[in-house]
Amino acid sequence: MEYIAGILIAVLNQGLLNWRLQQLIRRKNTNPKKIVNLARVSLVERLMLVGVLLVFAMQRFDPLSVILSFFFINLSFSFYNSCQSKP
């Protein structure tokens, strides 16, 4: 169950990131100030939500398992996205 909790939190983290990126693409903002503000909001909301969920999961389950599963799933998403962006 520890691994599933870490995986679900990682998927939520990546989902929020992709949702904000899609908002940025749809708006087609060229104003750097708006882009930086959207990135800042995305960072804060993901930090707060994911941080709180990780703390609750680590209190209930084995902390090492939760953190490792969270880390490896986020790493695999990053690797997958970098492979998709190459021509």
Tens of pLDDT along 21-71? Answer: 888 778 776 778 877 888 888 888 888 988 898 898 889 988 888 888 888
The predicted model scores a pTM of 0.76
Distance from C-alpha of 10 to C-alpha of 69, rounded to nearest angstrom: 8
Residue pair 59/14 in contact (Cβ under 8 Å)? The answer is: no
* Integer CA distances (angstroms), 13 to 30, 32, 33, in order: 25, 24, 24
The residue count for the chain: 87
